Structure 1
């Protein structure tokens, strides 16, 4: 079972910062999950629409310049990182789930992604692109079929995982509150990997392992490692 650090090791370091991502790997996570905004010609790593919860700034992310965003304190003196900075620190064997929170130009996004990937030790096999906006995923997949996409959902549709299969997704990412063993089974039968968010309690980790879930997103990779061991 993959252990992917949700916004990094976000219990122990400021979320979506280089410090949190380095801490995740020191806690032996298999990889990272983080959130991105396309802003002008750059991709920044950030979760919220507004700045005040996780930085010393205020206002909407999309109303700011890159210079302003990079001047903010995201916790313990950390900056809001660029995508290329995060990918560059990742070991070559790690998995990165890049969640898209905002996208306005798919070709420009793909160019920025390519540049970031080429400056890292990773390949497209190490990357999953996910979003709740499945239209963005469909457009990315149409322009770059080799990219692995993960369809995010917080629901249990009547037709199960069919929506993800129709997107030619690599994986389906399901909230812990909605996951059932039958859903996992249906997704596997459709050829999809199943990743579950956000899983911080050992009992939930062990339950999902027994169901054959392929990976979890967790704020506490050190707890997940202690619970699941080297299971992969």
Structure 2
């Protein structure tokens, strides 16, 4: 079972900060997960629509300019990173899951993936793009056929994984509380992977491993690895 660092090692450093991503790679995460929005034409790594919760500043991401962004502190002494900064740091050393948080960021993410493939030693297949708004994923898959896409779901669909097959996805990203054996079995029967977010409790981690999920998103990769190895 693969371990993805959710917003980086976000239990150990501020979420979606360079410090969190550095710790994730240091803990040998199989992948990192991050959230992206658009700020003055740049793809920036930020979960919320505003910067209020995770920085020392205030305001909506989409209304800030580059100068204002550089004055923010994401909690590690630096502004929240751009997607390009994170990809330059990772440089193909692990998978990267990019969650789209706004409609306007899609075309820009497409460009950033292309840039990373040509400049940062990534293969297209090392990227997985996810979103709760599933329609955002389709044009990215059309542009990059080798790109992995993964619709996010908060509840279990009546038709289980069929919706993901219909959109040519490679994985389903499901919520911890609503992931059961029926969903796992159907995802696998359809040739897809199932990755589960966000696992914070020992009993959930053990249960999901027993269900046979392919990967989990955790806030501390070293913690998850320790739990899993203790029951081996």
Q: TM-score, normalised by structure 1?
A: 0.93
Map Cα deviations across residues 103-152 of structure 1 (whole Å, 9 max, x no partner). Answer: 32644431233113433232112110111111110121123222110111
Match of 2:169 in 1: 169
Match of 1:96 in 2: 96
Give, in whole Å, the separation in 2 of the partners of 1:26 and 1:198. 20
Map Cα deviations across residues 170-202 of structure 1 (whole Å, 9 max, x no partner). Answer: 100001011101110011111110000000222
Is residue 28–residue 225 contact of structure 1 (8 Å, CA) maintained in 2? Answer: no
Is residue 170–residue 193 contact of structure 1 (8 Å, CA) maintained in 2? Answer: yes
Is residue 173–residue 197 contact of structure 2 (8 Å, CA) maintained in 1? Answer: yes
Match of 2:48 in 1: 48
Give, in whole Å, the separation in 2 of the partners of 1:89 and 1:49. 25
Matches within 5 A, 1:1-232: 1-90=1-90, 92-104=92-104, 106-229=106-229
Give the superposed CA RMSD: 1.8
Give, in whole Å, the separation in 1 of the partners of 2:37 and 2:181. 33
Is residue 19–residue 78 contact of structure 1 (8 Å, CA) maintained in 2? Answer: no
C-alpha distance 80-27 of structure 1, shift in aligned 2 (>3 A): same
Q: How many residues align?
A: 231
Q: Tell me the SS of whatever aligns to 1:104.
A: helix
Q: TM-score, normalised by structure 2?
A: 0.93
Structure 1 unaligned residues grouped into runs of 5+: none
Q: Tell me the SS of whatever aligns to 2:182.
A: helix
Structure 2 unaligned residues grouped into runs of 5+: none
Q: Which moved more, 1:76-85 or 1:162-171?
A: 76-85
Is residue 36–residue 105 contact of structure 2 (8 Å, CA) maintained in 1? Answer: no
